[in-house]
C-alpha cells in the first residue's frame, strides 16, 4: 500500500468532518444572526458613531453579552417570561414565534447586541424601534386570580417583568458557565439597568440583591400563573423547529437552562431538572459551539474598531 493510498481514507474522514463543522457553523450563524456569515446588516451601524456607547471595553455588559453562555440564557429568559400571564398573552396574541421563530429570535438579538455594543445614538434608535412595536401590542388577559385585565406591552409591570427575568437569566447563566465579570454581578445589573430605562422600565434593579428581590416579589404577590398557554410555549421552546443536526446540542442546552432555574419556578413551568450531569454537559457543548463560532463576535469587532477610531477606552458607567 502506498503512502498516498494509506492517507486516502483519513483525508476523506477529515474532509467530511470539516464539511460538517462548516455546515454547523453556517446553521448556527444563521440562527443567531440571520446571516450565514454571522454579520447581519445592522452590524455596520455598530462600527459607525461618535462615542464609546453606554458601556464600552472592559464593561460588565460586554463580558456577559459577548460570552457563549448567552445561548443558554436566552432559553432560560424565554421560559421564565411565560410565567407572567400578561406577558404570555402578548406573545400568544401578537408574536409570530410559531411561524417565524428565528425571525423573532434575531429581532431580540439585534436589540441586545446593538444596545450593548453600539454608540449611544444607535442604541437609543434601536430601543425606540422596540418601543414602537410595543405600542401596537395590546389586548386582554386573565390574571392569576381569574380577573380579566387589559394589557399593553408598554405597561410598567410587564416591562419590569421582562427586564428582570432577562437580567436574571443572563447573569445566572454567565455565573454558571462564563468567566469573571468586571465589577461583579452588581456591576452587570447596574449597567444593564440603562437598557431597561431605554425601553421604558421604571426603577430597574441596580444590584444583584435588588434583582433577586424584584424577581421574587412577582411570585410573592401572586402575579405569576401556569396554565395551558404556558405549557404550550414550554413545549415549543423544548422542541423548536431547528435543523435536525442541531437538535442534540440544543437539547443539552435546554436541559442546562432548566437546571439553572430555581426549583420554585421550575415547578410552575412543569419542568424537572435532569438527574444527569447536565451542567457539565452544557459546558462541553458551549465550548464546542465557541470553537465553531470563534471567541469574538462581529459586533464586538465592529465596536472595538469604532472605539479605536475615536481613541476612546473604558466603560461609561
Q: Where are the domains of the chain?
A: 26-310
Pick from 110-114, 130-134, 153-157, 229-233: least confident: 130-134
Task: Say whether 140 sits in a helix, a strand or coil.
Answer: strand
- DSSP designation for 245: G
Residue 2: its pLDDT value, please?
A: 46
Over range 284-310, report the average pLDDT.
Answer: 85
Pick from 69-73, 286-290, 311-315: least confident: 311-315
Residues 109, 33: contact at Cβ < 8 Å?
A: yes
User: What angle do helix axes 70-81 and 278-293 make, rounded to 10 degrees?
Assistant: 120
Beta-bridge partners for 140: 150
- The residues, ordered by sequence, that sit 6+ positions from 220 with a Cβ below 8 Å of its Cβ are none
Helix (H) or strand (E) holding 286: helix 278-293
Residue 14: its pLDDT value, please?
A: 45
Nearest residue to 227 via CA among 65, 34, 84: 84
Distance between CA atoms of residues 185 and 194, nearest Å? 15
Number of other CB atoms surrounding residue 218 within 10 Å: 17
Better-scored residue on pLDDT, 281 or 300: 281
Over range 146-154, report the average pLDDT.
Answer: 90
Query: Distance between alpha carbon 42 and the CA centroid of its chain, in Å?
Result: 18
Query: Distance between alpha carbon 104 and the CA centroid of its chain, in Å?
Result: 12
Could you tell me the pLDDT band of residue 96, with boundaries at 50, 70 and 90?
low
Residues 101, 74: contact at Cβ < 8 Å?
A: no
Q: pLDDT tens digits for 10-50?
A: 444 344 444 444 444 545 545 554 544 445 677 888 999 89
Residue 227: its pLDDT value, please?
A: 93
Mean pLDDT over the full length of the chain: 85
Residues 44, 151: contact at Cβ < 8 Å?
A: no
Pick from 27-41, 124-138, 176-190: least confident: 27-41
Q: pLDDT tens digits for 214-237?
A: 999 999 999 999 999 999 999 999
Residue 21: its pLDDT value, please?
A: 47
Over range 204-212, report the average pLDDT.
Answer: 98
Residue 295: its pLDDT value, please?
A: 61
Residue 244: its pLDDT value, please?
A: 85
Residue 186: its pLDDT value, please?
A: 98
- For the chain, the residue count is 317
Taking 60 as the threshold, does the pLDDT of residue 3 lie above it? Answer: no
Q: pLDDT tens digits for 47-75?
A: 998 999 999 999 999 999 999 999 999 99
Give the whole-number percent of the chain exceeding pLDDT 90.
60
Amino acid at each position: 500500500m502506498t503512502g498516498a493510498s494509506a492517507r486516502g481514507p483519513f483525508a476523506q474522514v477529515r474532509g467530511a468532518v470539516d464539511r460538517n463543522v462548516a455546515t454547523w457553523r453556517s446553521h448556527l450563524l444563521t440562527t443567531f444572526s440571520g446571516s450565514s456569515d454571522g454579520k447581519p446588516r445592522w452590524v455596520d451601524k455598530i462600527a459607525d458613531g461618535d462615542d464609546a456607547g453606554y458601556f464600552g471595553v472592559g464593561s460588565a455588559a460586554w463580558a456577559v453579552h459577548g460570552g457563549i453562555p448567552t445561548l443558554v440564557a436566552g432559553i432560560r429568559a424565554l421560559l421564565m417570561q411565560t410565567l407572567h400571564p400578561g406577558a404570555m398573552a402578548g406573545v400568544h396574541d401578537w408574536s409570530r414565534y410559531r411561524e417565524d421563530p428565528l425571525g423573532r429570535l434575531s429581532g431580540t438579538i439585534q436589540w441586545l447586541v446593538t444596545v450593548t455594543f453600539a454608540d449611544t445614538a444607535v442604541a437609543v434608535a434601536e430601543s425606540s424601534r422596540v418601543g414602537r412595536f410595543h405600542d401596537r401590542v395590546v389586548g386582554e388577559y386573565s390574571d392569576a386570580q381569574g380577573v380579566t385585565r387589559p394589557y399593553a406591552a408598554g405597561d410598567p409591570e410587564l416591562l419590569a417583568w421582562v427586564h428582570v427575568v432577562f437580567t436574571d437569566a443572563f447573569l445566572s447563566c454567565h455565573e454558571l458557565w462564563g468567566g469573571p465579570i468586571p465589577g461583579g454581578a452588581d456591576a452587570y445589573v447596574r449597567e444593564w439597568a440603562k437598557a431597561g430605562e431605554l425601553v421604558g422600565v421604571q426603577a430597574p434593579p441596580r444590584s444583584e440583591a435588588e434583582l433577586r428581590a424584584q424577581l421574587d416579589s412577582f411570585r410573592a404577590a401572586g402575579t405569576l400563573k401556569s396554565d395551558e398557554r404556558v405549557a404550550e410555549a414550554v413545549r415549543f421552546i423544548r422542541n423548536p423547529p431547528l435543523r435536525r443536526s442541531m437538535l442534540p446540542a440544543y437539547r443539552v442546552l435546554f436541559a442546562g437552562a432548566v437546571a439553572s432555574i430555581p426549583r420554585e419556578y421550575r415547578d410552575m413551568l412543569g419542568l424537572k431538572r435532569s438527574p444527569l450531569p447536565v451542567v457539565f454537559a452544557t459546558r462541553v457543548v458551549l465550548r464546542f459551539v465557541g470553537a465553531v463560532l470563534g471567541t469574538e463576535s462581529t459586533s464586538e469587532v465592529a465596536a472595538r474598531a469604532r472605539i479605536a477610531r475615536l481613541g476612546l477606552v473604558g466603560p461609561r458607567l
